[in-house]
Amino acid sequence: MSQEVKPFKVHISDSELELLRKKLELARLPEHPADTVWGEEAEGGVTMSLMRDTVQHWKTSYDWRAQEAHINQMPMFTCVVKLQGFDPVTLHFVHKRATASARAGGAIPLLFLHGWPGSFVEVQPMLSTLLEAGFDVVAPSLLGYGFSSYPRQEGLKATHHAEAFDQLMARLGYNEYVVQGGDWGSLVGRILTLSQPKRVKALHLNVVATAKVFAPPPGWEEGLTEVEKAGVERAQWFMKTQSAYQQIHATKPRTLGYALHDSPVGMLSWMVDKLMLWSDAQDKKWTADELITWTLLHYFPGPSTALQMYRENDVQSMVAVAGYIEQPVGVSHFQKEVGMAPRKWAEEEFNVVFWRTHDRGGHFAAYEQPAALAADIIEFFNAQWAKSK
């Protein structure tokens, strides 16, 4: 198996783009009247007006090549890693070292982990800030996401993602590092921090999904602040009204995958539903270009293997059995996050030494509030890295 780290550029072929153009021209949307009330009720799914407007923009104005060039401003690479019991897999990742002399004592290696329906591009709005603050940034695509491959064999767990990323950090020459994660990245980061206590020096999360968040105990409100109560209530709203996607991903990922793989408009609808409702609607105004680009980063490689992650991993069971993390843990609580435990619940499972609550921002904090998240990351890891030396 080659140990080589190879430079990588995103390039979707002209033939693939032409096929996409043809599919968009043939796209069929429901012909309901524009003033249909139930068609504009967001809780029932993506509104008709949003879909019509976004698809029209896609057909007439959207420029993938411009988006591709913007993504390619980040230095990207691939390498092959071997996980026991699986075929070798190719890891795609962003990697850039800190600005020269940015930090006395040397750079802090930071592993940034995304989730679904996100991707490696979530790091881009924060990248220059982190580099200037003295961080070496590594932002991989989860296995089966984007331009990271997925093995033929069954049974690829979040633990294997963690193992792959630890191999990656070792390959890049980092004996010690810190981890930041949201969504799936928070779970993979938690597993990695537990499994590598000597190598992972600290963990920062913007999603803290503890066992109690899924099933709050009787009298759960006692001792919580109003902000914390609102966070638990939002998590319950999410579980009751927004989590059906988890069941279809976990039970029929291939069935859904065929439909999304063949239909760019179908993929757009599936993505936009989550992007709009899980973010802070009062603050984050997704542009049509952003919605389409996030969609295409799943559509072009094919969405099925990313969905397979839900079939291979029971999130609630994994959270319930995960061990206590001794390393320092920092948390950024964005108030529209859909999976955030109160601090005292988090302290039952993490050595929480940093906690900051933000009035704005939701599930996609790195994209919604990049300056705020980057500031928290820098403050927390600077302090903990110095203490670990």
DSSP string, 306-369: HHHHHHH--HHHHHHHPPPEEEEEEEEEEEE-SSB--HHHHTTTEEEEEEEEEEEEES-HHHHS
The pLDDT assigned to 211 comes to 80
**What percent of the chain clears pLDDT 70, i.e. is strictly above it?**
93
Check residue 321 and give its pLDDT: 56
* Nearest alpha-carbon partner for 118 in 297, 254, 258: 297
Concerning whether 249 is annotated as a catalytic residue, the answer is no
**Stretch 286-291: mean pLDDT, rounded?**
97
Catalytic choice (92, 95, 249, 363): 363
Give the pLDDT band of residue 284 (cuts 50, 70, 90). confident
Range ranked top by mean pLDDT from 82-96, 229-243, 313-327: 82-96
Please name the residues in contact with 105: beta carbons below 8 A apart, sequence gap of 6 or more.
386, 389
Cα–Cα dist 27/291, whole Å: 17
pLDDT of res. 38: 53
Structure-token pair, residue 135: 């961080």
What is the rounded average pLDDT for all residues in the chain?
A: 93
* Contacts for 256 with CB less than 8 Å, ≥ 6 apart: 248, 249, 307
**pLDDT over 80 (residue 238):** yes
pLDDT at 294 over 60: yes
Domain boundaries, the chain: 6-27+45-388
Predicted confidence at residue 37, as pLDDT, reads: 57
Give pLDDT, residue 318: 63
Average pLDDT over residues 35-49: 68
Integer Cα distance of 314 and 223 in angstroms: 30
- 310, 358, 367, 376: the catalytic one is 310
Neighbouring residues of 240: CB distance < 8 A, sequence distance ≥ 6: none
Residues of 130-155 as b/e, b for ≥16 C-beta within 10 angstroms?
Answer: bbebbbbbbbbbbbbbbbbbbbeeee
pTM of the model: 0.95
- In the residue annotation, 358 being an active-site residue is answered as no
- Which are the contacts of 194, defined by CB distance < 8 A and separation ≥ 6? 322, 323, 325
> Distance of alpha carbon 117 from its chain centroid, rounded?
6
- For residue 47, pLDDT over 90 is answered with no
Whole-number Å distance between alpha carbons of 344 and 339: 15
61-65, 244-248, 284-288 — which is least confidently predicted? Answer: 284-288
Residue 74 has pLDDT above 80, yes or no: yes
Q: What is the pLDDT of residue 36?
A: 59
* pLDDT, tens digit (0-9, with 9 covering 90-100), for 139-195: 999 999 999 999 999 999 999 999 999 999 999 999 999 999 999 999 999 999 999
Please give the torsion angle defined by the CA atoms of residues 70, 76, 82 and 86, in that order, rounded to the nearest 10 degrees. 10
Is residue 333 flagged as an active site residue? no
Active-site hit among 166, 183, 273, 289: 183
pLDDT, tens digit, 9 for 90 and up, residues 332-363: 999 999 989 999 999 999 999 999 999 999 99
Neighbouring C-alpha atoms within 13 Å toward the C-beta of 59: 14
Q: Has residue 71 got a pLDDT over 70? A: yes
Residue 123 confidence (pLDDT): 99
User: Is residue 82 very low, low, confident or very high in pLDDT (cuts 50, 70, 90)?
Assistant: very high
107-146 residue pLDDT tens:
999 999 999 999 999 999 999 999 999 999 999 999 999 9
What is the domain class of 6-27+45-388 according to CATH?
Answer: alpha beta
pLDDT at 322: 67
Q: How confident is the model at residue 283 (pLDDT cuts 50, 70, 90)?
A: confident
Average pLDDT over residues 266-292: 92
Q: State the angle between helix axes of 14-25 and 48-60 in degrees (0 to 180), rounded to the nearest 10.
A: 140
The predicted-structure confidence for 5-37, as pLDDT tens digits, reads as follows: 999 999 999 999 999 999 999 999 987 655 555
- pLDDT score at 55: 97
d(CA 147, CA 137): 18
